[in-house]
Chain A
Amino acid sequence: MGADFVQFSLTPILIGTFAAIACALPGNFLILRRQALIGDAISHVVLPGIVAAFLITGTLAAIPMLLGAAVIAVILIEAVKRLGGIEPGAAMGVVFTTLFAGGVLLLEQSDASSVHLDVEHALMGNLESLIWFKATGWESLLDPVALATLPHELPRMAVVCVLVIILMLVFWRWLKISTFDEGFAQALGIPVAALGIGLVITAAIAAVAAFDAVGSIIVIAMFICPPAAARLMTNQLEVQVWWSVFFAVLSAVMGYVFAGYGPLWFGSQNAVSAAGMIATVSGIVLGLACLYGPHRSRVGVGREDTAT
């Protein structure tokens, strides 16, 4: 835990953790609202967004355009659902696969593939490469010169994470009421529709920022696995959110450690994909929760019902 750790591992772990928390928080509500797969759809749509953004602006760091792509996708899904009278899952499937295909095609046709933008990068992210070059040890945390060379993903992800936390705190009561009893929320005068859209946009912000830093696998896994595992631990929303944050941090840290140091334990020289490992660990956490979580079975379903 010396200088090497600070230089090579501290920033990726922090970025991964912030990304995991930022995705897991809105994920709690998405799961309860049966919109869990919105995260999946958004993360597929980010690829065409990033390609279009590159073709238009010439840079890869165009967060507003990515967000625009995500919002357009959500609108398209809604449009296909309403206009065609198609069930939400299928509408989602039609829209995000089409946009993804368009993104791949654009990518192959443009010069974007030459500037370190390819599909694999988009999927896997490059968490391992976000190292802090100037760091010489823990004391660098107090050194303004070294701090200035922090990978820019870290402050950005931290800001997004804080933003998501603030939004959750501000709209906590509204979100809670409208998630569990939409009719009651409407009767109270809560703008239910706007709140739903706001939630999806918050999720999109988290997804886009996380995608930029860590690739889309983490996004999909973190939207669902930690909140779903947390759902099996408790019947209280407040407690569930804390559990989901805990699981998200656990997955991010353990995933990174396993990916970076795990292969060394088996005598291999090379690290494996950290993003993939974080997603895997979150899946294992959920699996354990499904097997042993105290509130895993459905209320009102007896033992003999579940056995059939």
Chain B
Amino acid sequence: MNPFFDALLLNAGYNAALVAVGAGLLGFAAGSSGTFLFLRKRALLSDATAHATLPGVGIAFIIMVSLGYDGRSLIGLLLGSAVTAWIGLLMIEWIARRTRLAEDAAIGAVLGSFFGLGIVLLTIIQTMSAGRQAGLEGFLLGSAAGMLYQDAVVIAIGGSLAVFATWLLRRPMTLVAFDAEFAAAMGYNVRRIDLLMMGLVVAVTVIGLKLVGLILIVAMLIIPPVTARFWTDRSDRIIWIAGVFGGLSGYVGAAFSASAPAMPTGPLIVLTAAAIFLFSLVFAPVRGVAAVVVRHHRFQRRVHRRQGLLSLSRAEPIREKFTLRLLLRSGLIRPDGVPTDTGRAQAAKVARDERRWDIAREIHQDAGLTGRYDGLTPIEEVFTPDEIRDFDRRLGPPVAVRGFA
């Protein structure tokens, strides 16, 4: 079997299996918790969170080394990164709430300056005697290859907790995401729910730091929810669809990277997620580009067909080429432009329905029903057969349509 399928089936060795399962869990957690960020239109908050973890990693390393411990303890570094990420988020929240600056400016400012501070700390660490082999640069882009069993356990436990918290908080968070003022009126504390949402994002970011790195974890929080949005309009489903997409890209991406040497895990996970996104963008049933194009063409054909039939019923010449082709292909006119029997019948029906609508507008002066007239909705869909019979009575007996006597 080829190495990729081996890795997919967890046969590529202990370490590869560990990474694949860890990445899958992380992807599921990131996708489902990132959904609310996306629905709340704050997707890029995750970018600031991720960059704001870097100074925390540096500070934690320096503190641990100066206290005499091994500075590379993953738990310690992750705790440190969570603290600065949280501070960064609070700062964004504070700037956006208390000053005239918009949230995007606050995000960019915190992102840039925290990341700068992190780089400064990294250069300090490089000059420390304990810092030469610290490998903290691995947090920039992740280093799945060196993942240990305990790292995988951290990811598994943390990821499951994040998913569980998402499940617990799904109702208030959905409410706030769709209508914050309504949520406030219902008695929810919107600010606290927002903070919880951000806390969840911080948790996922921190868990994913080791595996995919702080720049690409942003992708795992943003891309799966955006992808899931193509497939559903229901908020209760989008969470889990995003989770599945995230988990899938994590798992498949990790398998890819295990199957080929020197293929970095983080970028492959992100590119897998991006591939799923691209597929959804094009082929999703209702919101996808292909569906939109098909819908547009169908609509265009209906409009042209109706306009053509109306012209036939009034014996007006048709000059629009597309209409002519359309009518010819459906056997409504002959190649020389003269209507066939079916064409006459259909034209007569269109003309009659048009008259029926006129009557309907006289009877129903309010726009409730007649407002649905757009030229394409069949009158049978709006009015009952009884009503239509009534319109026909008022229309009087059928008369010969002009031009077809």
Contact = CB atoms under 8 A, between A and B. Distances in A.
Interface residues of B, number: 63
B255 interface: no
B321 to A, nearest CB: 29
Given A94-B226, A273-B122, A220 B216 contact: no
A102 B113 CA distance: 25
A263 B230 CA distance: 52
B148 interface: no
A108 B264 CA distance: 7
A108 B262 contact: yes
Interface string B119-146: 1101110010000000001001100000
B140 to A, nearest CB: 7
B100 A40 contact: no
- Which of A35, A97, A263 is most buried by chain B, counting CB atoms within 10 A of its CB? A97
Contacts of B229: 86
B43 A283 contact: no
Nearest to B229: A86
B242 to A, nearest CB: 12
A34 B223 CA distance: 22
B287 interface: yes
B105 to A, nearest CB: 4
Contacts of B113: 221, 225, 279-280, 282-284, 286
A273 B99 contact: no
A236 interface: no
Interface string B257-294: 00000111011101100100100010000010100000
A40 B47 contact: yes
Contacts of B104: 34-37, 89
B116 A277 contact: yes
A224 B381 CA distance: 56
B105 A221 contact: no
A297 B215 contact: no
B369 interface: no
Interface in A255-308: 259, 263, 268-273, 275-280, 282-284, 286-287, 290, 293, 295-299, 306
A172 to B, nearest CB: 22
Interface stretch (A4-12, A56-64, A119-127, A195-203): A119-127
Instruction: Kindly list the 4 A-B residue pairs having the minimum CB-CB distance in the complex, ordered from nearest.
Output: A283-B113, A279-B116, A221-B112, A276-B119
Given A90-B222, A283-B109, 8 more contacts: A89-B44, A97-B216, A109-B262, A231-B105, A232-B99, A273-B123, A282-B116, A297-B99
